[in-house]
Each structure stands twice: as structure tokens, then as C-alpha cells.
Structure 1
Amino acid sequence: ARARDLATVNAVAETLNRSTNIQEALQTSLQRVVELMNLRSGWVFIQEDGGYTLAAHRALPEPLAANDAAAMAGDCRCLQLLREGRLRQAVNTVPCLRLENAGWPQVRHASVPLYTAGRAVGVMNLLLPEGRNLVGRELDMLAAVGHQIALAVERNRLFEEVRAKEAARGELIEKLLTAQEDERRRIARELHDEAGQALTALILNLEMAERAAPPGEAARLERLRAIAEHTLGELRTLIYELRPTILDDLGLGAAIRWLVKEVVEPNGIKVDLQLQGLERRLPHAVETAVFRIAQEAFNNMLKHAQASHARVAVGVDHREVSITVEDNGRGFNPAAVPPSRTGRGLGLLGMRERAELLGGRLVVESTLGQGTRVHGVLPLRDGGG
């Protein structure tokens, strides 16, 4: 008998520890208890949304199983006792209104409350063979099983709570990133339409004035025109960094080439650029995420790395897109760079969040004196395009 009790406890513990689905775990655990203890039937109620719902059942009496176990809905004596705090330990006999209303000849069952940290999370009811009562040893064993089940239920509740919070956090980050991109696009458009056109008009007027002016005045107007042209060039770079139209119009490959040719190489860094599989367009969110990851990696490289050479590789297959940016700069310790006013830590965090938001991952590897490597992988859930 003790061997059977031990086998029951071990079987339930193994089931609860192995399963990642709480419904399957409860169903299998109840089945093990009923079979190993030679019981007639069993069912488990779990607290949910302020009430109790049927979470698992095994060999329910036919009147209770009929119509998708409709008779198991609603209140009953065991749940009343549980709510009132009067069902604190496993007991042999609890009068069952459900069995009584169904006209079942045996109207009592054993009940095992499911407690964890002093809080009731449910109850396991067991229908015994007629004339049988559980002995003290069996009740103690069922109390241990009930505690294990309660811990699994509570663990699952906490997991679901964390998952819901993570989902809400992901939705918030997605909204923030979308709003950020929309705002970047709006500012870039306004700079192009207003400041850009104004500077272009100024340059044209300065050219006209320069042609009509005497030599001394013409030289001064030429210097002013040069300043205006330089400012227009800087403005166009700013517009492209805010939201490059090339990304929207021509795709990720062209946008990465633009970053390398217009932002990185002019700063004296030789770049080995490798693009593969970018002939087709990728989902808009993926293209934006990869572009921003590359942009942030380049910004960090230019601000901090003191590098002379870099390698940039972006590759796409039918399942995922990967990006690698590495340099031969002075390196740093990623763990020692918290988010700060310099923006470097925030930039690393932003890159990771962009990747994780799309179900991907991003790793930053760096060692002092040995350069930095940023590697990200993002899935293509819809196959790309």
C-alpha cells in the first residue's frame, strides 16, 4: 500500500514537472490518481475569474458527463466549504449536490482542497467504490498530491500573468516604435518641403545675385551660396537619417548601401559590404527594424569605436533575415554600459527590443581592444515579400 502511495505521488510529480500545458497536466495527474488508487471517478475545480471552473475530469458518472458536463457548472457544497475556509484538509465524505440532483445512488465523495501559500486555488473530488473509505495514510498522500497540484496551478497562473504583462509591454513598444517612425517620417517630410525648398530657393537667388553683382560683391555672395549648399547637404543627410525615402522606395539593400556610402565611409572607415537575398522586398516592419539596427550599430561605431575597417553582412533566406556589423575598433564591455545620457546603452537596448518585438534576437559581442560584433536574426513569418 505504501509503495502504491509513493508511486501515485511520484507519478503526479513527474507529470506536473514535465508538462508545459496546465490543462493536460491536471487531466493526466487526475487520471493517475484515479487509476493507481482504484477509484471510480474524479474531477478538479480550479479558481478562475472569481469563480470555480471544471478543469479536469476522469470517468465522470454519466448524468454528470451528459451535455458536455453541463451539470458540473455552478456552485456546490464542496465549493461552498472551500470558499468559507471549512475545507482545509483531505476528507472522506462530502455530500454532493450534483450527484444527488442527478439521482446517482452514491451521493458522497472524498474532497482534497488545493492550497498553496495559505490560499485555496481549487479542489479535487474523488468518487470512491461503494463501501470504501480512505484511511489516514491515503488522505495524507492525497494532501501531498493536492499541494503539488496547487503549486503547479499557481505557477501556471504566475506564468500567464508574466506572459500577459510581456505581451502588453510588447504592444506598447510596438506602438511607441510605430509612433516614432511616423513622427520621423512627418519631420523628414516637413524639413524637405519647407526648410529644404527654402534653402534651394535661397541658393538659386544667390546664384542670380552673384551673376549680377560686381566682382567684390560676387565673391561674398559665392561664400554665402557655399554655406547654403553645405547646409542643404547636411539637411538632406538629416532627412535621410530620420526616414530615408530610399528604404520605402527601393528596399533594405539600397538603404544599407546608402548608409555605408554616405555615412560610414566618408568618416574614413573601409567597409566590406555583403548583401545576399535582398532582391525581393521584405515585410515593412522587418526592413525598418534591420535598417534601424544597422543605423544604430554604425552610429556607435562612428562615435566610440575608432575603427578603420568594418564588415557588414545582411542575408535573407525563406525563413529569416540576419544582419552582422563588426569592426576592428577599440571595443568595450557591453555589460558595463547601462542606459545613460550618452545614449549608447539606450541604443543597445533599442536594437534588442526591435529584434525581440518581431520574434528575433540580437547579440552584441565586444572585447576591449578587439572590436565589436553586432549580430541580429529576425524571422520572416509570412515568408518575406
Structure 2
Amino acid sequence: MSLFWRIFLINAAVLTAATVLVLLGPVTVSTPFVLTEALILSGGLAVMLVANALLLRVGLAPLQRLTRAMTTIDLLRPGPRPAVTGHAGIAALISTFNAMLDRLEADRAASNARALSAQENERRRIAQELHDEIGQTLTAVLLQISRVADNAPPDLRAELHQVQETTRDSLDEIRRIARRLRPGVLEELGLIAALRSLFAEISHHSGLQVRRDFAPDLPALTEEVELVLYRVAQEGLTNVARHAAASRVDITLIPHRDGVRLRIRDNGRGIDGQPEGAGIRGMRERALLIGAHLTIDPGPDGGTEVTLDVPDPAGLA
């Protein structure tokens, strides 16, 4: 039965019952009506309106819940589906909405996976070109400058050495960028070594005091899970260094329930209700790829706390 007919029949039932009561009851309508009859009929009408409002509220409550779900749904933050309640058309509408959410989340996950895979491949290509092309070119320039400086007059030798140091700094910066684009340590030595290298680099360039706590009994992780954990840690530390105005950041990677938990907690100024930027959205998209849950909340002692819970990595391995 459609929603229209449900509402129509409810209203018809209420009005019919009221009419029968007027017709069969001891009260009659006089011409002209007397005050007593008017009061009784007004009371009956009020009762009908209240009953009608209550019945409609109960009948349309599932639609109101569905409307709230539509206005608050976020594909980057999957939550529980609206309960399929009500009758006929309402239940079918909620079921269709839930099925649509399932399709949208699946399509978005597949699209994100392709986009992030293409992004990682592009990062790998750029890092390789920086290392092989520009890195080798600057290395050759350093050697040439060194030879020229050895044979240059004393008044030019100091300037050439300065150019040499500037070129060496540029070469180190290019290598650092290449390492951030393509974490070769992650592929060669694993997640823990890659995270330690990342923390040392962030601490050296930003002055942050990085305190880490890695559990020795972490379960086996797939390459995809390790890459997501590394990228989330990288983005979290970058945000702390750039925006948090923090002096210390604590990193923990420990087993949690049936999975692992990565937590980044700083003592900075906090998020202060600021809208999420592209970096945080990227972290959420990466978390969805492995079925992980990402939360960003104020820290217990100020600052910001980023938590990534990865479920059952042994099952993913």
C-alpha cells in the first residue's frame, strides 16, 4: 500500500469514527445550534485533529529519520545505516536508500583505489627521475666545481666553494624530496624502519621532539596496509610540523583488539573546529581502502590526536 493511501485511510478512519459517534450518540445538532452542542462538536474535532496528528507522526517517523540520515551522511565516514522500519512504501524507500549507499561507497572505494594507485605510481616515477636525472646531473656539477675550484685563483676559490656547498644542499634537498615521494626504506626494510627514518627527517627539519612507541609484537601486515600506515603517519606529522605550532609529538603503533592502532598526538594548538583540508581527506580515503577507521579529536592535554584503527591485519595479510 502506497504512502498516499495509508495517510488517506488513516484520516478517513478517524473522520468516519467521529461521524458515527455524532450520528449515533445522544447529542443532536439543533437549528440553530445551541452552545452545548457547539462545545461538544468542537471537542470532538479537537480530539480528531490530535489523533490524526499522532497517527501521522508515528507513521511518518521513519521518513524523518531517513531525512536526517540524508542530510548528515558522509561517504568518507561510513556509519550505521538507517533502520528499515515502517510499512510498505516507507520500508522500501529506506531499503533502496541503504542499497544506494552501499553502491556509492563501493564505487567510491574502487575509484579511490585507482586514483591512489595512480598517485603512488606517479610519485615513484617522479622520485626515480629526481634521483636518476637531476641527482646525477647535480653530482656531476659538484665534481666539475670541485675540479675548477682546485685550479682556480685564490680570490675565486672561496666563491666556488660556496657555490659547491649550495649545490650540495640542493642535491640533499632533492634526495629528501625523492625519499618522501617514494619510501624506498619501506619496500626494502619494512614499516618500522621507514617510520623511524621519517621521524628522524621530520625532527631534523622542523625541530619537533618526536617520541615513538612501537610494540615488538605487531602482527604481519600486507604491503598495502603498511603503505597506508606510512602515508597516514607522514601526513599527520607534516600537518603537525606545518600547522600545529607544537613542540612535541608522540607516535604509537601497537596491537589493538583484533588489529593494530596508529596514534599521533601533539601538544599544539588543536584543530579549533577548522574545516578539514585535502590532506585529512586523503588520510580518510586511504583508511577506507583497507577498511580502517580514522578519527581526529582534541588530545587529552590539548593539541590534536589522530588515531587509525586497522582491523584484523592478519586476515588482510
Q: Give 2:102's aligned residue.
A: 163
Decide whether the 8 Å contact of 1:363 with 1:376 is kept in 2. Answer: yes
Aligned-partner Cα distance in 1 for 2:131–2:218: 29
Q: Give 1:282's aligned residue.
A: 221
**Relative to total residues, which structure has the larger helix share, 1 or 2?**
2
Aligned CA distance change for structure 1 residues 232 and 280 (closer, same or farther; 3 Å): farther
For the residue of structure 2 that corresponds to 1:365, the secondary structure is strand
Is 258-267 or 160-169 further displaced after alignment?
A: 258-267
Aligned-partner Cα distance in 2 for 1:212–1:280: 59
Q: CA deviation at 1:336?
A: 2.7
Q: Which runs of 5+ in 1 are unaligned?
A: 1-113, 119-143, 339-344
Q: Is 1:353 aligned to 2:282, yes or no?
A: no
For residues 71-102 of structure 1, what are the alpha-carbon distances to aligned partners after superposition, in whole Å with 9 as ceiling and x for unaligned?
xxxxxxxxxxxxxxxxxxxxxxxxxxxxxxxx
Decide whether the 8 Å contact of 2:246 with 2:267 is kept in 1. Answer: yes
For residues 325-349 of structure 1, what are the alpha-carbon distances to aligned partners after superposition, in whole Å with 9 as ceiling and x for unaligned?
111112122x4324xxxxxx11112
Aligned CA distance change for structure 1 residues 117 and 211 (closer, same or farther; 3 Å): farther
Q: Is 1:337 aligned to 2:275, yes or no?
A: yes
Q: CA deviation at 1:154?
A: 3.3
Equivalent AA in structure 2 for residue 320 of structure 1 = G
For the residue of structure 1 that corresponds to 2:87, the secondary structure is helix
The percent identity for this pair of structures is: 34
Aligned-partner Cα distance in 1 for 2:212–2:205: 15
Correspondent of 2:188 among 226, 238, 249: 249
Q: CA deviation at 1:163?
A: 0.8
Q: CA deviation at 1:265?
A: 4.0
Q: Which runs of 5+ in 2 are unaligned?
A: 6-58, 60-85
Q: Is 1:303 aligned to 2:225, yes or no?
A: no
For the residue of structure 2 that corresponds to 1:330, the secondary structure is coil
Q: Is 1:365 aligned to 2:303, yes or no?
A: no
Aligned-partner Cα distance in 2 for 1:374–1:237: 25
Q: Is 1:185 aligned to 2:117, yes or no?
A: no
RMSD between aligned residues: 2.5
Aligned-partner Cα distance in 2 for 1:264–1:297: 13
Equivalent AA in structure 2 for residue 378 of structure 1 = V
Q: Is 1:321 aligned to 2:260, yes or no?
A: yes
Aligned-partner Cα distance in 2 for 1:280–1:369: 30
Q: CA deviation at 1:279?
A: 7.0
TM-score normalised according to structure 2 size: 0.69
Correspondent of 1:375 among 298, 307, 313: 307
Q: CA deviation at 1:267?
A: 1.9
For residues 224-276 of structure 1, what are the alpha-carbon distances to aligned partners after superposition, in whole Å with 9 as ceiling and x for unaligned?
11011000111011111111111111111111101111123442221111112
Aligned-partner Cα distance in 2 for 1:288–1:271: 20
Q: CA deviation at 1:289?
A: 0.8
Q: Give 1:111's aligned residue.
A: none
Q: CA deviation at 1:117?
A: 6.1
Decide whether the 8 Å contact of 1:314 with 1:321 is kept in 2. Answer: yes
Q: How does 1:141-220 map to 2 (within 5 A)?
A: 148-220=87-159
Decide whether the 8 Å contact of 2:202 with 2:208 is kept in 1. Answer: no
For residues 269-301 of structure 1, what are the alpha-carbon distances to aligned partners after superposition, in whole Å with 9 as ceiling and x for unaligned?
211111124777621111111111111111111
Q: CA deviation at 1:380?
A: 3.8
Q: Report which structure shows greater RCO (CA 8 Å, sep ≥6).
A: 2
Aligned-partner Cα distance in 1 for 2:212–2:187: 21
Aligned-partner Cα distance in 2 for 1:353–1:206: 47
For the residue of structure 2 that corresponds to 1:337, the secondary structure is coil
Q: How does 1:15-34 map to 2 (within 5 A)?
A: none
TM-score normalised according to structure 1 size: 0.57
- What is the number of equivalent residue pairs in this alignment? 238
Aligned-partner Cα distance in 2 for 1:164–1:215: 73
Aligned-partner Cα distance in 1 for 2:4–2:263: 48
Q: Is 1:292 aligned to 2:231, yes or no?
A: yes
